[in-house]
Amino acid sequence: MNITRRTFLGTAAALPALAQARPKRVAIITTIFRLQSHGQHIGDRFIVGYPFAGEWHKPDTQVVSLYVDQKPAGDLSEARAKEFGFKVYPTIAETVCCGGSKLAVDAVLIIGEHGDYPHNEKGQVLYPRFEFFEQVAKVFESEGRSVPVYNDKHLSYSFEKAKRMRDTSHRLKFPMLAGSSLPVTWRLPDLELPLGCEIEDALMVGCGGSDAMDFHALEAMQCMLERRKGGESGVKSVQLIEGDDVWKDARWSKEMLRSALSRSDNLKGATVTDGRTQDMVGTGVLPGLVKNPWAYFIEYRDGTKATMLMLSDAVGDFTFAVKLKGKPIQSTQFFLSPDPNVTYSACLAHKIEQMIMTGNAPYPVERTLLVSGMLESCLDSRVKGHVKMDTPHLAVTYQAPRESQYCRI
Amino acid sequence: MAGNRPKLAAITTVYRKMAHTQHIVDRYLEGYGWNGTHHHPEMDLIALYVDQVGADDLSRDRAARFPAMKIYPTIAEALTCGTGKLAVDGVVVVGEHGDYPKTPKGQVQYPRYRFFEEIAAVFRASGRSVPMFNDKHLSWNWEWAKKMYDTSKEMGFAYMAGSSLPVTWRIPSVEFPDGAKVSEALCICYGGVDSYDFHGLETIQGMVERRQGGESGVKWLQAYRGDKFWEACRENVWPRNLMNTALCRSHTLTPARAGFNDIFPSLDDMRTLVRDPVAYRYEHNDGLKCTMMLMGGLVRDFNFAATLEGASKPFSTQAYLPMPDGRTTLADFFNPLSNNMEKMFLSGKPTIPIERTLLTTGLTAAGVDSLYAGQVRIETPHLAIKYQPAKESTFWRT
């Protein structure tokens, strides 16, 4: 057949799927899909696009199916499906198979945050991320084929379950990305630790309750610490203490705290009363201001030590200070942009998209695995009377990516 | 400077919570976060004048807590500390907020010119002048602003002024390329006329002054408001692609549709969301065209975009203000502004040319005039202001 330009165009028009690569098909598996829930604001990035690098970026993806575990008042799942031409399926298996009998998507987003789920005695919300993941993996296994999976936030409240998830991703050889937006959002200032640096001390300051916001703070801290010399070695022991004992403990440094708090734009106390700036460490107001401080002490297997302080009555943002060998203390703020846009989730969406498009996770899931375990063990420490917990199971080793992964464009 | 810390006087309109005076003077008294520690300026603010003392005044509380700072009933007494001669090494003028009458054009008559004249009178009488910082634009009245500028040159003192926008964080943290060729620049921000318009203009000017050839001044300005604004949008009087780019730098885009948290608006959406849009479109003497747009209801931040020659896509960033309107508790964009002032008080040299703020003062007044005259084009031969900024960046990045 003599192919002229006209016949070629005609053929291409008739067979668009062959003429160009089709968008990657995405399934979203979520607890709830309500305005400002993670399911909605991360999911929508793949439906309506998101701001990135000065453009409204439309990923080359198509959300083709959605599973929602709970439909509380304000549920948007059916409205979204109708408007954007996909279906809400009653089971996870049907969702990843788009109602058929075979895996029918190129990527799966598991967003198990928000919704009405029970708490355990440690205060953890029992979000069914592991259970969602298992059902997805079951389809992969029976199919003999897997696709990339993103898991929002920690893998599971249980390290054992989290580890099974990571192990399954290795066994079935699919890329897996997980975690918080904090490691990938903008930093004020733009501070990155050089790969292979020697860390003498590290302090993270966060706010909000457990086990939602402490996970974010621990993961922000971990994305800095993992760049140290020798790579990530895993965690040897953890301890969580609270109340006045926090102020008396010598394991964290006041100078480091002053440095972290100098990065806060959200001091409470007298700032709220009359607008003044405050040197909260210098004036000594913290013990009177913070009713119930929590300190999370992390001791790594290579001897590195780090502390995370939850000071909700004193601050409303997430800041970090670090002392590298031979350098003065450095610090930064992990910038959480305001509601409703929460543009930091666009930074995360970009990383998820990168995995979907390239088939490689931009940073190791072991980071989130380790933080999932750190958090669980810290909460174990608390319920056992704030004792130090040895954590031989947290010998999670990995190497941080050479390239910085946070948003700076 | 050990043993020789500069002494400062602050001359202010009103000292209440969230007034510029509280933000600025508090940073000298209490210190502020800078370079990863709580920084105390190496200077002493020893004299304060407050023009209006209301029920919500904080100056008395601050003077009681910081006894080294005395409050004086007149500007001259503050500058002389009651000695009859200039007794300070620097002056901070904060003439923003407070209850002052408006002009028929709607400008608040903040007494910055009166403050300046009284300060200059003390300088003259003492046969000595010291560096001065003026918060925001020099004056609502162009003639007065020009006189303030001319006086500072005649008397030969270091003079610096302006907004926090050019010196605050940028997200992303990028500098306008030195010597770039730029054809169009635009800022989408929010707030009102003779108020945040000045901040939008300073956002643009703090960028474009670095272009090839330096600043050449502005030859005309035209304001657009209401229906004429939307008409100009539709007719691409300013580049739509730069509007889109600037909006993609915002972190506060009002969702145009219920049920969405972050969705890009159409022009019709914008028209529904923005009740009182205002744009100042103006052309520099070297041909650069700029547009400052107030789009309250759509955004609550300051977003900049420009077309650079040889670049495949627009240059863009957000000049980020940690804003204590519920988003933060501290107006920490006053940290870099205070720090730039401190550098001037220590070195005797402004870090930012006063000509920038002279130009933006004139642009603000021209914007008001254009609106008042029915959104007509105003020729601005008086704004043929030429200057070259320092090569070093002055925005916050440490």
**Tens digits of pLDDT across chain B (398 residues):** 446 899 999 999 999 999 999 999 999 999 999 999 999 999 999 999 999 999 999 999 999 999 999 999 999 999 999 999 999 999 999 999 999 999 999 999 999 999 999 999 999 999 999 999 999 999 999 999 999 999 999 999 999 999 999 999 999 999 999 999 999 999 999 999 999 999 999 999 999 999 999 999 999 999 999 999 999 999 999 999 999 999 999 999 999 999 999 999 999 999 999 999 999 999 999 999 999 999 999 999 999 999 999 999 999 999 999 999 999 999 999 999 999 999 999 999 999 999 999 999 999 999 999 999 999 999 999 999 999 998 999 999 99
Q: CB-based contact (8 Å) between A279 and chain B?
A: yes
Q: What is the CATH number of domain A186-335+367-394?
A: 3.30.360
Distance CA B147, CA B152 (A): 9
How far B28 CA sits from the closest chain A CA (Å)?
A: 10
Q: CB-based contact (8 Å) between B265 and chain A?
A: no
Structure ipTM:
0.96
Q: What are phi and psi for residue A386, nearest 5 degrees?
A: 65, 30
Predicted pLDDT of residue A20: 62
Residue in A262, A271, A328 closest to B329 by CB:
A271
Q: Do the Cβ atoms of A268 and B332 come within 8 Å?
A: no
Residue in A316, A340, A409 closest to B329 by CB:
A316
Residue in A262, A339, A343 closest to B34 by CB:
A262
Q: Do the Cβ atoms of B30 and A277 come within 8 Å?
A: yes
Q: Which positions ≥6 away from A82 have C-beta within 8 Å? A: none
CB interface of B with A, residues 274-313, below 8 Å: 305, 313
Q: Which positions ≥6 away from A208 have C-beta within 8 Å? A: A214, A216, A310, A312
Pick the closest to residue A389 from A398, A381, A400 (CA basis).
Answer: A381
HSE-up of residue A286 (Cα within 13 Å, Cβ side)? 23
pLDDT in tens, A141-193: 999 999 999 999 999 999 999 999 999 999 999 999 999 999 999 999 999 99
pLDDT in tens, A242-299: 999 999 999 999 999 999 999 999 999 999 999 999 999 999 999 999 999 999 999 9
CB interface of A with B, residues 166-205, below 8 Å: 186, 188-190
Indicate if the alpha-carbon torsion angle B386, B389, B391, B396 is positive or negative: negative
Take residue A202 and report the two structure tokens written for it. Answer: 């590290």
**Helical axes B142-155 vs B354-372, angle rounded to 10°:** 170
Q: Do the Cβ atoms of B248 and A76 come within 8 Å?
A: no
Q: Do the Cβ atoms of A50 and B249 come within 8 Å?
A: no
DSSP string covering B20-45, please? HHHHHHHHHHH-EEETTEEE--SSEE
Q: CB-based contact (8 Å) between A331 and chain B?
A: yes
How far B370 CA sits from the closest chain A CA (Å)?
A: 31
Show residues of chain A in contact with B320, CB under 8 Å.
188
Q: What is the pTM of this model?
A: 0.95
Q: Where are the domains of chain A?
A: 5-174, 186-335+367-394
Q: CB-based contact (8 Å) between B168 and chain A?
A: no
Residue in B34, B262, B328 closest to A341 by CB:
B262
Show residues of chain B in contact with A186, CB under 8 Å.
171-172
Q: Do the Cβ atoms of B255 and A321 come within 8 Å?
A: no
How far A58 CA sits from the closest chain B CA (Å)?
A: 11
Task: Give me the sheet containing A24-30, strands edge to edge.
Answer: A87-88, A61-68, A24-30, A107-111, A149-152, A176-179
pLDDT band at A3 (very low <50, low <70, confident <90, very high): very low
CB interface of A with B, residues 233-272, below 8 Å: 258-259, 261-268, 271-272
Distance CA A15, CA A37 (A): 39
Take residue A119 and report the two structure tokens written for it. Answer: 């708490």
Q: Do the Cβ atoms of A40 and B396 come within 8 Å?
A: no
Q: CB-based contact (8 Å) between A26 and chain B?
A: no
CA closest to B33 among chain A residues? A262
Q: CB-based contact (8 Å) between B253 and chain A?
A: yes
Q: What letter would DSSP give residue B136?
A: B
Q: What are phi and psi for residue B381, nearest 5 degrees?
A: -60, -25
DSSP H or E segment with residue A142? helix A129-143
Distance CA B124, CA B119 (A): 9
Q: CB-based contact (8 Å) between A328 and chain B?
A: yes
Q: CB-based contact (8 Å) between A44 and chain B?
A: yes
Give the count of Cβ contacts less than 8 A between chain A and B: 148
Take residue B287 and report the two structure tokens written for it. Answer: 């041909």
Predicted pLDDT of residue B4: 86
* A186-335+367-394 matches A5-174 in CATH topology: no
CA closest to B242 among chain A residues? A54
Q: Do the Cβ atoms of A54 and B30 come within 8 Å?
A: no
Class of domain A5-174: alpha beta
